[in-house]
Amino acid sequence: MDDNKNKTSRMGYNIAKRIALVAAVFAAILSILMIANYIQTKAVDPLNSKAISQLMEQLQENPNDTALKEQIRALDLLARKAYFTHQWQLRTGSYLLFVFVLVLLLSLKYMSSLESKLPDLSESPSPDETTENRLLSRQYLIFGGAGLFVLAFVLGILSQSELKNIGIFRAEESAKAAGFPGINEIRDNWPAFRGPEGNAVAYNTDVPTEWDGRSGKNILWKVPIPHPGYNSPILWGKKIFLTGADRKTQVVYCIDAESGKILWQAEMNDIPGAPGGRPDVTEDTGYAAPTMTTDGQRVYAIFATGDLACFDFDGNRIWAKNIGKPDNHYGHSSSLITYQDLLLIQFDQNTGGYLIALRSSTGDLVYDKSRDVEISWASPIVVNTGSRTEIILNSNPFVVSYDPRTGQELWRVKCMQGEIAPSPAYADGMVYVVNDYARLAAIKLQDTPVVAWEYIDDLSEVSSPLATKNLVIMAASYGTVTCFNGKTGERYWLHDFDDGFYSSPILVGESVYLMDISGIMSVFKADKKFQLISRSELGENAMTIPAFKQNRIYIRGEKHLFCIGNELEQF
């Protein structure tokens, strides 16, 4: 009986020994490869290309060479594929190394337990090898191997960090060379609805928390806007852009951000291809609900008529067209957004949905992606999810992501219903969408995106949600604001305000700015507990999104555009 136990133990010992040996060999090979990868990353920029650098130099001499720009983009795409391949290799290598080291440790632990019970399982030392020497040899082997594994892990982490920094730098350089702004320049401005990338995050955070429109406290200026509109202001540099319209006239305004002076205004009543007559719209939507957008060189405006135009910063019209009279019973309100050299339009109508991409410099059609969704009033967001850039659209019944350059569908999740108005939000691998009489849904991005959690009370009808790394904040049109754990859906707090919200919450540093329909801005902490910082009155009703630039806040009220800031601070 004891002999059988010894044989079984010996067999288990030998199997564990072989497994440990194989795991150690593979772990050692992976460690060496990851160390070599780090050395290679330090020596060679995986996104650096002499060919791209040469083309960039040529482009500086010929900045209007379209063919050269396309060539740069093609080579840059290949370089980015190499970059992501490096990232995949590092991640996969790290996971495999962890698995092999774990298997090695478990095998050694099992062998050790057998040795303690049956000492005769261990190999007998050779005549010229003492027990002390054998133990020392094992210690050197264990410590040396452990040092190699730890070094590989550390260098793998450093390689990923350096690759990320290289990627950001090269993306900025490639963007500038190809004629469109990089992400840092975009974030330093306010180029679209809900700010950079359309994601409700302000990167200029040194702004006032208190003002009073009636007394003039911290109101640097206010200017009347001649024509009505529910679109929000956008900013680039020291210029503000917005639109106004009624049944007879469509106007684009450019306003000086320092003084409030209207620098120029351009009427859009002679658009080629425009159908006769204005569509019928409701009073709370109007003819100028969509917010403009800019790529830092030109500005783009669209109206409820389907009229679309591009202007330079001096007010010269570059191109204009009509993309079709919207079949929309409230009025078209989806805002514009740009990605590199493309102007992107969510055009979901009663007659069908479309994602339209136009060449921003010419207005030429790049693609017109048909969408099997119902009418919506939401606006798209363009976000970098870590491995790629996606344009994400909220609609009924699908939330859909596309490649902004090609219009190719990347994923879809069926989770919405009703007349969709709130736009999506994104943070830390999660997409959040909401609609009244439907749900707040948190979509986890993975190989196949899934709804991680949902919530069905106090839902937003118009206001878009705000997402941070840890929180989601949602404001309802009847005044209830709710805060959740972004990963689990746990409700942290609920607060009832005096008035409802059409505007959306904006993250400004560690605070949230949220304006109600009466023009009162509530500032509160982005935290698990509700902590009100201040409440400030604009002095007139407002339903738009505030814009943040340097130490100023710009708010479009029902009749005026306001500039809010501390009087002693310069722009």
Which residues, at least 6 apart from 514, have a Cβ–Cβ distance to it below 8 Å? Answer: 475, 481, 501, 503, 504, 505, 506, 521, 522, 523, 524
Residue type, 32: I
In whole angstroms, give the CA distance from residue 83 to residue 79. 6
Average pLDDT, rounded, for the chain? 84
Per-residue model confidence as pLDDT tens digits over 204-257 = 999 999 999 999 999 999 999 999 999 999 999 999 999 999 999 999 999 999
pLDDT interval class at 145 (50, 70, 90): low
Q: How far apart are CA 486 and CA 467, in angstroms?
A: 7
Cα 186 to the chain's mean position, in Å?
12
Cα separation, 163 vs 432, in Å, equals 29
**β-strand partners of 563:** 221, 554
pTM of this structure? 0.74
Q: Give the per-residue pLDDT at 255.
A: 98
Q: Which of 225-234, 275-284, 370-379, 414-423 has the lowest mean pLDDT?
A: 275-284
Residue 135's pLDDT band, with cuts at 50, 70 and 90, is very low
AA letter at 501: F
Give Cα 9 distance to the centre of its chain: 56
326 backbone dihedrals φ, ψ, rounded to 5°: -60, 130
Does 416 score more than 90 pLDDT?
Answer: yes
Q: How confident is the model at residue 442 (pLDDT cuts 50, 70, 90)?
A: very high
Q: For residues 100 and 338, what is the distance between their CA atoms, to the nearest angstrom?
A: 46
pLDDT at 87 over 60: no
Omega cis (within 30) before 397: yes
Mean pLDDT throughout 137-151?
A: 53
Q: Which residues contact 500 (CB under 8 A, 6 or more apart)?
A: 476, 477, 478, 479, 516, 517
Phi, psi values for residue 134, rounded to 5°: -65, -40
Q: pLDDT: is 571 or 306 the higher one?
A: 306
Q: What is the 3-state secondary structure (H, E, C) of 322-374?
A: ECCCCCCCCCCCCCCEEECCEEEEECCECCEEEEEEEECCCCCEEEEEEECCC
Quote the CA–CA distance of 309 and 319 in Å, as a whole number: 6
- Domains of the chain in start order, with CATH, are 2-179 (no CATH), 184-564 (2.130.10.10)
Single-letter amino acid, residue 493 = W
Q: Which one has a higher pLDDT value, 58 or 462?
A: 462
Side-chain-side CA neighbours of residue 406 (13 Å): 7
Greatest pairwise CA separation for the chain in angstroms: 105
Query: What residues contact 541, with CB distance under 8 A and at least 6 apart?
Result: 517, 518, 519, 557, 558
Among the listed residues 463, 534, 557, 451, the one whose alpha carbon sits nearest the alpha carbon of residue 209? 534
- Condensed to tens digits (0 to 9), the pLDDT of residues 303-361 reads 999 999 999 999 999 999 999 999 999 999 999 999 999 999 999 999 889 999 999 99
Give the DSSP H or E segment for 74. helix 66-117
If you count DSSP H runs as helices and E runs as strands, how many of each does the chain have, helices first?
A: 5, 33
Residues 19-44 have pLDDT tens digits of: 877 767 776 776 676 666 656 555 44
Share of the chain above pLDDT 70, in %: 72
Q: Could you give the 3-state DSSP secondary structure of residue 317?
A: strand
pLDDT in the model for residue 566: 85
> Cα separation of 298 and 3, whole Å?
87
- Mean pLDDT over 44-59 rounds to 56
Encoded amino acid at 242, one letter = L
pLDDT value, residue 167:
47
Q: Give the residue with greater pLDDT, 103 vs 234.
A: 234
Is a pLDDT exceeding 90 seen at residue 277? no
- Torsion angle of C-alpha atoms 536, 541, 543, 544, degrees rounded to 10: -70
pLDDT band of 137, cuts 50, 70, 90: very low
Q: What is the three-class DSSP state of 221?
A: strand
Of 392, 372, 250, the residue nearest 311 (C-alpha): 250
8 Å CB contact between 147 and 27: no
Number of neighbouring beta carbons within 10 Å of residue 449: 18
Q: What is the pLDDT of residue 102?
A: 73
Instruction: State the average pLDDT over residues 274-292.
Output: 91
Scanning the structure block, which residue is given the tokens 């337990």?
A: 113
Q: For 180-212, what is each residue's pLDDT tens digit?
A: 788 889 999 999 999 999 999 999 999 999 999
Nearest to 293 by CA among 306, 274, 269, 309: 309
Question: Residues, the chain, total?
Answer: 571
- Per-residue pLDDT, 14: 76
Strands 439-444 and 430-435: antiparallel
**DSSP designation for 568:** T
pLDDT for residue 29: 79
The helix/strand/coil state of 302 is strand
